[in-house]
Structure 1
Amino acid sequence: MAARKSPLFDTATTLGQIVAFFGVSALCGVLAAGLLVPAAAAAGTAASGSIQFFDDLPSELQAGALAEPSKIYANDGSLIATLYEENRQPIKLDQVSPAMIDAMLAIEDDRFYEHGGVDVQGVIGALASNLTSDTNRGASTITQQYVNSVIIDTNLQNDKEVVLSGNKDYGDKLREMKLAIAVEKQLSKDQILEGYFNIVPFSGTTFGVQAAAKYFFNVDASQLNIPQAALLAGVVNGPSVYSPTGNPELSLQRRNVVIRAMLDKGRITQEEHDAAVATDLGLNLTPVPSNCTGAVQAPYFCDYVMHLVLNDERYGATTEDRQKLLYRGGLTINTTLDPEIQNAAQTAVNETANPDTTDPEIGHSMVSMEPKTGKILSMAQNTRYTPEQGAGNSVLNFNVDVNQDGDPNKPLGGMGGFQPGSTYKPFTVAAWLDAGKTLNTTLNGSKRTYPAGYTWNASCWPGGRYGIPEAWTPINYGDTNYKNTTVIDGLANSLNTITMAEINQLDLCKFQEMAFASGIHNGKSSSGQNEPLESIPPASFGGGGDASPLAMATGFATFAAEGLKCEPRALESVTAADGRTFEVPAQECTQVMKKEVAQGVNAATQQVMTKGSGYYLQNGKPVAGKTGTNDFRSQTWFMGYTTGMVTASWLGNHVWGNEQGSMEGKQIGGQVYPEIDGSKIAGPSWKNFIDRIPDQYEANPFTAPPASIMGTVAAPPKPAPAPAAPAADQDKDNGGGQGEDKKNDGD
C-alpha cells in the first residue's frame, strides 16, 4: 500500500492546493528572477540564499551518443540486415520539413524561440489550471523534453533506472529545469530542436522523426506534409495512447488537435487546415526488420557475423559492451558475402530440400569460400531463420562450429558439424604423397580381416603404435571391387580397401595432422581450442567426430590453393557512427602443405569428376570434387571446387547421426529416396548451384603435378595373405578398410 500523503502536500486536498500554489509561485518567482529569463540571467541578477538548493543541482547535461542501428552489408554494398534496439536515423534540422517543425512547435512549445529553457508563463498557467481543476496539464518545453529524453537514453545505455514522466517528483522536475537552462547556454535553439527531433520516441522501437517518417509513411522527414507532420507531432505526447496502428481513432483526433493548434498559432491558413483535417491517416507502414530474423538476405551468414563481433574484444572489453556497440553504435559492417553467389546457393538449397516438403530432421546447407583469401562468399541452409518453434524453423547454423576456436565463451550459434565420411579420404592421399609415394602406385585392394591387437604406426600414441581392440573387416561399397588398383583410381572410385592399403603404410597421426593443419577440426570442441578429428581405425576414412561445412570448405580450399591454408574471413571493415574504425581479422594464409602434394590431390579429385562418383556433376569447366557418406547414411556430402571457389554441400539428419538417422525412406524435397549417398542429392544440389553462376568464380586449369607425384603404373603386386599378427604393411602387402562405414561409402 502506498504511504499516505500529508494534507499539507497533497494537491488533491484544498489545503494541499493552497500550500502548493504559494510554494510553487515562490519558486517560479525565484526561477524567473535568477535563472529562467535570459535577459535577467544576462544582467547577472543574483539568486538569493533561498534557492541555494537549486544551485546545488547538476548544471551540465551528460549526453552520450544516440543509439543508432548497425547495418551489415554484402561485398557489393547491398544490405544484409539491420541490427538495433532503437531504430533511429539521425538527420540535420534542414532535412526536416517546415510543416513538421511548425506542427511540433505549435503543439509542444510555441514559445520555444523566446524562453530560456523553461517557459515561466507556461509553468504558471499549468499550475493554475492543475490547482483549480482536476486536469493534469503539463508545461515542459521542447528543451525540457530533450533533456528528459537524453537522461532516459543515457540511463538505458548505462543500465540505470529510468524514471518516466508520470513517476517524477518535484526533485526530478527541478533537475530537469536546471539542465534545460544549462542546455540553452550550451547549444543554439536550432541545435536543441535538431537533437529533439532525433531523440524522441514515436512508436515502439522507432525513434527520431526520420525513422518515424519512413515507418509510418515511407517518406523522408523532408517530405512530410501538414497532415503527416501533425500526426507525428501528436504521437510524441503519448506514443502508445496515440499510436496510429494501435489506436487509429484517437490518433486521428489528436492529429486534428495539432492541425487546429497550427491554425491558431498562425502557422497554417484556414484553407490548409480544412484540407488537412479532411484526410484520413494516410499510413503506408514500412517497418524496418530487426536483426537477423529480418535479414534481407543470408540470415545465417548475418548470424555468423553477429557472433564474430560479439566474440571479439576489439569491439569491447565485455560481451555486454560489445552488445551495446552492435545494437546501439551505428556500426557499418562490410562483409565478404557475394549476393549473386548467395542467391544461387539459397535457390539450390531450397529447390533440393525445401523445408515445407522435407522431413523436419533433414537439413541441407551450402557454404562457399575463396581459396587464396579465405573470403566466405555464401552461406545458405534449408531452414527459416526464426526462434519460433515449428518444422523448418531454426536459428542454429548448420555451416559453422558450436564455438569459435573451441572456446565455450565464444559461441558461434552453430550445429557443430557432421561426420565427413569419404570426404576425409583426400587427406590420406595427401599424407601418402607427402611421404614420398605416388598416385600411380598400385596397391592390393583385397578384402581382409584385421585381427584384434593388429597395430599401425601412430607416433602420437603411447609407444608409437595403435592396436585395434576388436577384429575388423573393412569392405567396399556393394561388397565389390576388391582388386589391385592405383591410389588415384582408388580415390576416384572411393575404394575403402585401397584407402586402408595406404593407411597401412603410413603413420596414422600424419594424415590426421595433415587434415588438421588444413583446417579440418572437431566442430563441437569446448576445450578452449580446436581439436583434430580422430583418425584411428575404424574411423580412418571418415574422421572420428564432426566437422562443420565451413571447416570442410577450408580444408579443401587448401588443396585448391596448392597447399596454402587461409583462415575463413567474413569481415572486410567495421566503422562506428562516431567515426571510429575497428580492426578486423587480417587475411591469414599459411603454406601448410607442399605445393606438389596439393597438386597431386587435385589431380586425383579431378578424376572423381571424370571417372568416379562425380561424373554426372561435371559442368564443362576444370572442377574437382569428392563425395562422402557416413555410416548409416545419416550424413552425405559433396565437396566441389575450382581454382577460385570451394563449396561444401551437406545434406543429412541434424537430429540423429547413428542408425536412427538414416535418410533412406525419408522425404527430401517432396521425394522419397530408397538409397542415399553424396552423389545423389548433395552433389546435384552443388551442380544446380554452380550452373547458376558460370561467370562468378575463377575456374582455371589446375596445375598438373610433377612426375615425382604421379609416378608410373607398375605391375600389380601379388595378393598377400591376411595378417595373422600385428605387423607393418609394405606395398606388396596391402589391406583394405571401410573405416566406420558398416554399410560402406559408395561415393
Structure 2
Amino acid sequence: MAARKSPLFDTATTLGQIVAFFGVSALCGVLAAGLLVPAAAAAGTAASGSIQFFDDLPSELQAGALAEPSKIYANDGSLIATLYEENRQPIKLDQVSPTMIDAMLAIEDDRFYEHGGVDVQGVIGALASNLTSGTNRGASTITQQYVNSVIIDTNLQNKQEVVLSGNKDYGDKLREMKLAIAVEKQLSKDEILEGYFNIVPFSGTTFGVQAASKFFFNVDASQLNIPQAALLAGVVNGPSVYSPTGNPELALQRRNIVIRAMLDKGRITQEEHDAAVATELGLNITPVPSNCTGAVQAPYFCDYVMHLILNDERYGATTEDRQKLLYRGGLSINTTLDPEIQNAAQTAINETANPDTTDPEIGHSMVSMEPRSGKILSMAQNTRYTPEEGAGNSVINFNVDLNQDGDPNKPLGGMGGFQPGSTYKPFTVAAWLDAGKTLNTTLNGSKRTYPAGHSWNASCLPGGRYGIPEPWTPINYGDTNYKTTTVIDGLANSLNTITMAEINQLDLCKFQEMAFASGIHNGKSASGENEPLEVNPPSSFGGGGDASPLAMATGFATFAAEGLKCEPRALESVTAADGRSFEVPAQECTQVMKKEVAQGVNAATQQVMTKGSGYYLQNGRPVAGKTGTNDFRSQTWFMGYTTGMVTASWLGNHVWGNERGSMEGKQIGGQVYPEIDGSKIAGPSWKNFIDRIPDQYQANPFTPPPASVMGTVAAPPRPAPAPSNDQNKNNNNNGGGNQGENKNDGDD
C-alpha cells in the first residue's frame, strides 16, 4: 500500500497551517459549489473554475463483487473446508441488530439519514478543529467510508495502488466526496448502510458485521447486544489499534466511548449505558479455519479439489482468474467424498502409522473409489496438512500424480507415485487371458537363468524385441516355491517365476497396454500427457515405474467393473455466490477390457484372499485383493476391492524409493516389524478400515468367468493298474525289464 504525504499540507508547521487555512476555504467553496452544481446549471449560472474542477472528478463508483469465502462440501452436505482471502458472510440490513445500527450511527455518522452523502457541517467543523488544535479528527460519513472501502477493495482486486485514509490529500478527499454524492443518488440509505456493514474490515481477514459477530462472539449479527455492538462499532475506526485480541484495554476504552455516544445521541438510556460499561469484553473467539490447512475433514482431498479448480479453464481463462474465483467468488463446491468412509480410512491410518510414533520418512495413505462411476469416496494419509516444517508435516499428497494428465502446467500437489510391486501382476494375467489363454493352464515355475542376449517379443519397441545385456535370474519371495502350477495359483501366491512363464508366451507390450488402458500410468509424467509404465520383463511383476495410489485404484476399479474403466471424479457441482453454475467433468467410463477377462482376473484375485497372501485379511464378504512389495522393501501395497468399492492402501518410504529407503528397522506406529511386505502392514490397515464400514459399500458376489477363461484343471497322473498274475509271471520272466519302463513312464 502506497504511503503519500504532502509537505505542503503538513499542519504541524506554521506555513502549513496558513496554506491549510486557504485550502480549507477553497475546499469548502468547491464542495458547496459542487453540491449546488445541478441547480446552478439549470439557472444558467456561470460556472467557476472550482466547479469545473469538481465536475472533472469521476462521478461513478466502480464496485467489484465483494469477496466471499468458497466452501467445499462432502456428498452428505457436511463441510470439508472454507477457502478465502477475506472471511465475509454477506447479509441483509434486516439481519443486523437494531442495536448494532444504533451503535454504528452514533459513533460514525449520526446524521446519516439527513445528509446527501457529505456532511458539510461535519467537514467544516473537523477541518477547523484540526487546524486550531492539532488533532486529526475525521469527518467522513458512512457513505464516504463505504465509497472508500469499495475503492480499496476494487484496487486490491485489480492490483492497483491503495491509499489509506491517513495518507490522502485534498484531491483524494474531493474524489471520495463526489463519489459519495453520486452513490446517494444511485442507492437508498438502507442499501448504502447494508453495503457498508458487509464491506468494512473488523480484524485481519474478517470483513463485514456477520463474520465479525461470529468471530468475536460466536453469535449472529441479529443477536448483538449493546456492549457487543459497541465493541464492533469501535473496532471499525482502527481494526489493528482497537483489536480486542491484540489491544484489549484500548478496545474496552473505545467500546465505552461508543456506548457514551449512544447515550448522548439518545439511542440508549442511562440505565442501559451503566449496565453496558460495567461488562467485560465478553469475547468468545471463534475463528473460521482458512483453506485446506484448516479443513474440517479430508485436508488432502481438499487440496486435490483445489488443484482441480485451479487447473480447469472452465473456472477462468488464467490461473489468476481461477484463484480469484476460488478465494473470492463464494463457490459452493459439492464433491463425491463420503465422510463415513473417509473417517474410517483416517482412523485406520492413524492406528497403523500415526505420525507421532512413526519415523518421518514413512508415509501411509488410502484412497477409495466407486468402480462404475469413478467417484472418489475417500483420500487419507498419515501426515498433518501444514506447510510448517516438522516431522509428520506435509502438504504433499501421497495419493495423486505430480501433474494432472502429465501436464507440468497443471500441478496436483502430489508425490507422483511409487513402485507398484506385485500389485501389477494382475495386468499380466489380464494380458494372458486376453490372448485366449486360461487360468488353469499349468506352467513351469522353475528357477532359471536367462542368458545375456536373451530377448522377448515387444511389438511397441524398436525392432519388436526386448533383449538383456547380462544374465538374469528372477526369484520368488523368500527364494522358494519354484514349482509347476497353474496361472491362477501363481497369482494367488504371487510367484514371480510363474509370471515370467506367462510373459515368455506373450508380447511384453500387451500387459503394459492393459494396465495403461485401465488407468495405470507414470505418476511423474511431465510431457503433457500421461505415459505408460516401462516395458521390460521385471515390470511384469514389479510395475516398471511409479504409479500413484489413485491411478492404482482406477486400474483395479476396472477389474471390479468388469472391464469398464471410469476416470476418477471428485466434483459433483460448482456454483458461485452470484448464482452462476460451472460445468464439472462429466462421468467418463469406457469399456477397455473384455468382460470375461476382468471376470477371470477377479477370480484369481479372490483366491489371493482365500489361498494366498490375503488369507488373514478376509472379512466375511465377497472380496478380492492383491499384495505388493518392491525389491528394496521400501514400498508396500494392498489393493482390496469389492463390487462396490476399490481401495489402494500404500505404505512406504516417501523420501527414498530405492535400497536406501528400506523400511526394515523403521518405527511404524511405535513398533518395528520383523518382516516388511504388503500383507503385514498395508493389508491389515486396509482390513481395519473395511471392518469399520461393513454397510457403507456394495459387496455382491463377483460374476464367475466362463469356462473358456477358467480352462480345464489338469488331471493328476493316473496310477498304474495292478498287474495280473499272468503279467507278474511275464514280468518275472523278463527279469523286471517292463517294470523299469513302467516306472520311467510314471515319472514322465
3-state SS of 2:742 partner? coil
Segments of 4+ moved more than 4 angstroms: 1-10, 36-47, 715-723, 729-747
> Cα–Cα, structure 1 residues 355 and 38, in superposed 2: closer, same or farther, change >3 Å?
farther
TM-superposed deviation, 1:21: 2.2
Deviations 1:687-719 (A, max 9, x none): 000000010000011001001101101258999
Q: Alignment partner of 2:647: what SS? A: strand
Asked whether the 8 Å contact 1:34–1:40 carries over to 2, the reply is no
Q: CA deviation at 1:12?
A: 2.7
Structure 1 CA distance for aligned equivalents of residues 644 and 506 of structure 2: 31
Tell me how far apart the structure 2 counterparts of residues 58 and 743 of structure 1 sit (CA, whole Å): 108
* CA positional deviation for 1:6: 9.7
Deviations 1:349-392 (A, max 9, x none): 00000000011110000000000000000000000000011110
Contact 1:442/1:717 (<8 A) preserved: no
Structure 1 residues 615, 32: closer, same or farther in 2, change over 3 A? same
Distance across 1 between alignment mates of 2:719 and 2:279: 93
CA contact (8 A) 2:511 2:540 kept: no
Following superposition, the deviation at residue 744 of structure 1 comes to 36
The 3 A distance-change label for structure 1 pair 124 and 460 is same
CA distances 1:477-528 after superposition (whole Å, capped 9, x unpaired): 1221111110001000001110110011000001100000000001011111
1: distance between equivalents of 2:258 and 2:436?
86
Mean Cα deviation higher: 243-252 or 168-177: 168-177
Maintained 8 Å contact 2:199/2:208 = yes
| CA pair 45-649 structure 1, distance change in 2 beyond 3 A | farther
Partners of 2:746 and 2:246 in 1: how far apart? 59
Native 8 Å contact 2:500 2:537 kept in 1: no
1:731 and 1:551 map into 2 onto residues whose CA distance is 67
How far does residue 407 in structure 1 lie from its aligned partner after superposition?
Answer: 0.7
Preserved CA contact (<8 Å) 2:230 2:255: yes
Q: How many residues align?
A: 742
Deviations 1:15-69 (A, max 9, x none): 4323322332243234234417999999998853432011001000000100000
1:300-328 alpha-carbon deviations (Å, 9 max, x no partner): 00000000001001111111111111111
CA distance in 2: counterparts of 1:539 and 1:119, whole angstroms: 80
- The 1:95/1:514 distance shift into structure 2, 3 A limit, reads same
Residue 77 of structure 1: SS of its match in structure 2? coil
Distance verdict in 2 for CA 1:3–1:75, change over 3 Å: closer
- Give SS of 1:115's match: coil
Q: Distance in 1 between matches of 2:197 and 2:622?
A: 59
Distance 1:628 1:730 in 2: 56
Counterpart contact for 1:610–1:618, Cα < 8 Å? yes
Give the deviation of 1:432 after TM superposition: 0.3
Per-residue displacement from partner, 1:651-686 (whole Å, max 9, x unpaired)? 000011111111111110011112110000000000
Shift, 1:271, TM fit = 0.3
CA 40–2 in structure 1, closer or farther in 2 if over 3 Å, else same: closer
On the 8 A contact 1:476/1:744 being kept in 2, the answer is no
Q: Deviations over 1:616-664 (max 9, x none)?
A: 1011110000000001111000000000000000000001111111111
Answer whether contact 1:68 1:88 (CA < 8 A) is retained.
Answer: yes
CA contact (8 A) 2:34 2:51 kept: no
Aligned to 2:740: 739
Deviation sequence 1:141-171 (CA, Å, 0-9, x none): 0000000000000011111111111111111
Secondary structure of residue in 1 paired with 2:88: coil
Q: CA deviation at 1:127?
A: 0.7
TM-score where L is the length of structure 2: 0.94
Q: Report the TM-score, using the length of structure 1 for normalisation.
A: 0.94
In the TM superposition, residue 11 of structure 1 has moved relative to its aligned partner by 2.6
Q: 1:669 to 1:8 in 2, by over 3 A?
A: closer
Secondary structure of residue in 2 paired with 1:64 = coil
Cα 1:540–1:11, aligned 2, differ >3 Å: closer, same or farther?
Answer: same
Q: Which residue of 1 aligns with 2:563?
A: 563
Q: 1:431 to 1:744 in 2, by over 3 A?
A: farther
- Whole-angstrom CA distance in 1 between matches of 2:39 and 2:274: 40
Structure 2 Cα separation of the partners of residues 350 and 746 of structure 1 = 55
- Structure 1 residues 302, 743: CA separation in 2 closer, same or farther (over 3 Å shift)? farther
| Cα distance in structure 2, aligned partners of 1:19 and 1:204 | 37
Q: How many angstroms apart in 2 are the aligned matches of 1:559 and 1:552?
A: 11
- The answer as to whether partners of 1:440 and 1:713 remain within 8 angstroms in 2 is yes
Query: 1:468 Cα shift?
Result: 1.3
Q: Is the 8 A contact 2:600 2:709 kept in 1?
A: yes
Consecutive unaligned residues in structure 2, runs of 5 or more = none
Q: Deviation digits for residues 262-309 of structure 1, max 9, x if unmatched?
A: 000000000000000000000000000000000000000000000000
Q: CA RMSD in A?
A: 6.9
**Partners of 1:218 and 1:685 in 2: how far apart?**
39
| Other structure's SS at 1:731 match | helix
How far is the alpha carbon of 1:9 from its aligned partner?
4.8
- Alignment check: 8 A CA contact 2:332 2:575 kept: yes
Distance 2:229 2:118 in 1: 25
382-391 vs 471-480, which moves further = 471-480
Contact in 2 for aligned 1:444/1:719 (Cα 8 Å):
no
* 8 A contact 2:11–2:134 mirrored in 1: no
Q: Contact 1:629–1:635 (CA<8 Å) still a contact in 2?
A: yes
Question: In structure 1, how many angstroms separate the alpha carbons of the residues matched to 2:189 and 2:7?
Answer: 41
- Report if aligned partners of 2:37, 2:51 keep a CA contact under 8 Å in 1: no
Q: Deviations over 1:183-228 (max 9, x none)?
A: 0000000000000000000000000000000000000000000000
Larger radius of gyration: 2
Change (3 A) 1:417 1:36: farther
Which stretch has the larger CA shift, 530-539 or 131-140?
A: 530-539
CA deviation string 1:75-132 (max 9, x = no partner) = 0000000000000000000000011000000000000001111100000000110110
Shift of residue 2, structure 1, vs aligned partner: 14
> 8 Å contact 1:91–1:210 — kept in the other structure?
yes
- Counterparts of 2:112 and 2:746, CA distance in 1: 79
SS in 2 for 1:346: helix
CA contact (8 A) 1:34 1:45 kept: no
**Secondary structure in 1 aligned to 2:82?**
strand
Q: What CA distance in whole angstroms lies between the structure 1 residues aligned with 2:375 and 2:706?
A: 29
Q: 1:128 to 1:626 in 2, by over 3 A?
A: same
Could you say what secondary structure the match of 2:640 adopts?
strand
* 1:103 to 1:721, Cα distance in 2 relative to 1, 3 A: farther
- Give the Cα separation in 1 of the matches to 2:43 and 2:640: 81
Give the share of equivalent positions with the same residue, in percent: 94
Q: Which has the higher contact order (CA 8 A, sep 6+)?
A: 1
Deviation at 1:743, TM superposition (A): 37
Give the CA deviation at 1:735: 40
Cα distance in 1 for residues equivalent to 2:507 and 2:340: 43
**Structure 1's 717 and 68: CA in aligned 2 closer, same or farther, altered over 3 A?**
farther
* Partner SS for 1:640: strand
Q: 1:694 to 1:745 in 2, by over 3 A?
A: farther
Say whether the 8 Å CA contact 2:622–2:642 is kept in structure 1: yes
Q: Secondary structure at the match of 2:104?
A: helix
* 3-state DSSP of counterpart to 1:229: helix
Q: For the structure 1 residues 625 and 84, does the alpha-carbon distance in structure 2 shift closer, same or farther, using more than 3 Å as the test?
A: same
Partners of 1:494 and 1:746 within 8 A in 2: no
Q: Do 1:520 and 1:547's aligned partners in 2 also have CA atoms closer than 8 Å?
A: yes
Q: CA 1:103 to 1:493, structure 2 compared with 1: closer, same or farther past 3 Å?
A: same
Alignment check: 8 A CA contact 1:477 1:743 kept:
no
Instruction: Sort the Cα spacing of 1:385 and 1:3 in 2 relative to 1 into closer, same or farther, 3 A.
Output: closer
